[in-house]
Structure 1
């Protein structure tokens, strides 16, 4: 698992994004042995001929290094990218965590977020949210640049007035997603908000047009959307 942490204009941590990826073994034992042998031969050849054929040796060194990694780790990135992974249900998850203070009373901030249809006003990756009742809604998400869409039904699973909202995709949805927002009185006034939002693509997403869910541009878009909340709820204006 790797961690990405962005900074605000003052060099302070702004939001943390966690990319979770399973270390699935997708190379057979025989394939690993063959990769190690082939990688060693290519690497040795590259070293021995580097002065005579520098470009060819460089290519052999890259190929040899890849085969050695494939054999030692048991994971083939090319195979994974092509969607031929063993246990493909272990797809990556985008998880955004952030905490910030809003210069508004806690109850006002809570009620604004509790009306889910307000979220697309400042979250650009959300095309729309339609509330069916107090606990069930329909979400539509769009990819970076408006390329690709995905929709599902969601349900609020925990609701504490003025303190906590938790939601998740409804059973049977074609994407696993969940989120929670916690509201607390800030020591200096206003409301301290803690947000966690997670998206996991469905199993078998490769080749179905949903690869944008794992694109770094989508990660950054979700992060920026969360951080727009502070400005929007305080001023009613949407930042660029």
Structure 2
């Protein structure tokens, strides 16, 4: 007997599903994504500059595609060569012990070149697999080099009779040279394609595994994954990627040159007076020189934000060279202009700029996306500089030929 109080069978199968309220982080994330999408739409659909911006992004996408295809080919060749090298090393370990003294001597010389900063200061004698090392060597390299020679297949024993020096001072054979200490590949400044591929794959795998973690541990693992992925993709040290702490080795280098149809004595007054750079490079808003050799600069940064800094002349050779260096935290920012006479009526202007962008390589990539490319602007500035100097030279030639001043100034 079924009463009205008892629920119907179909009512017993109904389950009320309550839609959860979105959390605050989800709302903030949605708002941020919406703002970014709106800014991107406004940037690329601008009626004045939108077409050129879309074309620029399209060109960069095609360039990135070509670079990825080229990188895949380089990775394939690197993996193939490493596999061949691994097979050769295994074969060398088994068959390399049967080598005559002449071959063994060459192997030892090659191995010393990897561990000793002055390999030519070391004499090697080999007799039936027994090695005698003599000559001069630094103390910090002696033990490492001896152990490396002892590991060479075919070497039966090593006797070190060389003279060990703590300080190379007073030893002509140990002057100059570079320290040659083997460095693990991931500690090197630039990684091989295989190391980048393996590290990036490991970072992706760690990101997937981190889904099982929670709280600060998950955040720390994912931050490390992002850092490794960025390091492997850019093939640049992390400090150069983020721009902190910055040093001279982390600076980016751009250089260019151009020929001008004017002699050096007509080009130098324009090049050396860098207050006139505002006439040729629109991004330079103002330059003020001071009697003590310093100068105040105002540049237009990304987004139109002015960037101010003070520079000082570090070298000035009249008619030849002008060098500037930024004073302050980013002292690695330097610029050098050189004039080289080509013939009596032509000169070559060479410009070399070393700079540290804000936020490192990441900031440089973002600025490039928004149209700030220092290399392209340097080329455009040199082109304007050449046009101005050559026009000035033609105007002066016309004045000298006619006797009339054709310059309206």
When normalised by structure 2's length, the TM-score is 0.35
Higher helix share: 2
Which residue, 256, 275, 294 being the options, matches 1:136? 294
1:182 lines up with 2:350 in the alignment: no
C-alpha change, 1:148 and 1:184, in structure 2 (3 Å) is same
Compute the displacement of 1:187 (Å): 3.0
- The 5 Å alignment of 1:5-154 reads 35-38=203-206, 70=228, 88-89=245-246, 93-133=251-291, 135-143=293-301, 147-154=304-311
| Match of residue 323 from structure 2 | 166
Q: Which has the larger radius of gyration?
A: 2
Distance 1:32 1:107, change over 3 A: closer
SS of equivalent residue, structure 2 residue 282: coil
Distance 1:86 1:199 in 2: 11
Could you list the runs of 4 or more consecutive aligned residues of structure 1 that deviate by over 3 angstroms after TM superposition?
31-41, 67-71, 73-77, 83-88, 90-94, 173-176, 210-214
Which runs of 5 or more residues in structure 2 are unaligned? Answer: 1-188, 192-198, 210-224, 393-409
Query: C-alpha distance in 2, partners of 1:153/1:186?
Result: 33
The 5 A counterparts of 1:191-206 are 191-201=347-357, 205=359
* CA 1:224–1:95: 2 relative to 1, 3 Å: farther
Higher relative CO (Cα under 8 Å, sequence separation at least 6) belongs to: 1
Gapped runs of 5+ residues in structure 1?
Answer: 1-21, 25-30, 42-66
CA distance in 1, matches of 2:296, 2:330: 13
Indicate how the Cα distance of structure 1 residues 104 and 69 shifts in structure 2: closer, same or farther if over 3 A, else same: same
How many Å separate the matches in 1 of 2:377 and 2:333?
16
Task: Calculate the aligned-residue CA RMSD, in Å.
Answer: 4.2
Per-residue CA deviation, residues 151-200 of structure 1 (Å, 9 max, x unaligned), is 11101111111011111112x25564211111121137321111112221
CA distance in 2 between partners of 1:87 and 1:173 (Å): 11
Q: 1:221 aligns with which of 377, 400, 407?
A: 377
The 1:68/1:212 distance shift into structure 2, 3 A limit, reads: closer
Tell me which protein shows more strand as a share of its residues.
1
